[in-house]
């Protein structure tokens, strides 16, 4: 039962991302929203942490939260996928269930 994991806290301030990555299945997806969107920056320790997940093509970031924080596309890790609010809703339907990590 593929799960969409939702991360909404900063990887620098909490361990939600690390814990989630440790236990997530290869068929699962992961979406970064709110304070978690800082994980998108390339050439950082966090980028290293999520690089395998990015290769699966199931690593998503919520665009409005990136824009709010002034994070530009050229500073983002390659291979991630940006979604808007509608895209987010579609993902929650495509996956069997969602799981939020705060």
Instruction: For residue 49, state whether it binds another protein (rule: CB under 8 A).
Output: no
Instruction: For residue 89, state whether it binds another protein (rule: CB under 8 A).
Output: no
Instruction: For residue 10, state whether it binds another protein (rule: CB under 8 A).
Output: yes
Pick 58 or 63: Cβ nearer another protein: 63
Instruction: For residue 99, state whether it binds another protein (rule: CB under 8 A).
Output: no
Apex CA 70: angle with CA 76 and CA 46, to 5°? Answer: 40
DSSP label of 41: B
Which letter, b or e, does each residue of 39-59 get, where b requires 16 or more Cβ atoms within 10 Å of its Cβ? bbeeebebbeebeebbeeebb
For residue 7, give the nearest of 93, 100, 91 by alpha carbon.
100
Instruction: For residue 100, state whether it binds another protein (rule: CB under 8 A).
Output: no
Binding window for another protein (CB under 8 A); candidates: 6-14, 20-28, 49-57, 93-101: 6-14
Q: Show contacts with another protein in window 54-73 (CB under 8 A).
A: 63-65, 67-72
Interface ranges with another protein (CB under 8 A)? 8-10, 12-13, 34-35, 38, 41-45, 47, 63-65, 67-72, 75
């Amino acid at each position: 039962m593929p799960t969409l994991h939702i991360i909404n806290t900063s990887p620098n301030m909490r361990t939600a991302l690390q814990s989630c990555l440790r236990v997530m299945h290869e068929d699962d997806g992961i979406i970064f929203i709110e304070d978690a969107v800082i994980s998108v920056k390339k050439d950082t320790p966090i980028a290293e942490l999520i690089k395998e997940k990015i290769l699966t093509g199931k690593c998503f970031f919520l665009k409005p939260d990136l824009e709010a924080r002034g994070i530009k596309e050229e500073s983002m890790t390659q291979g991630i996928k940006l979604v808007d609010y509608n895209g987010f809703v579609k993902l929650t339907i495509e996956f069997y269930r969602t799981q939020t990590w705060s």
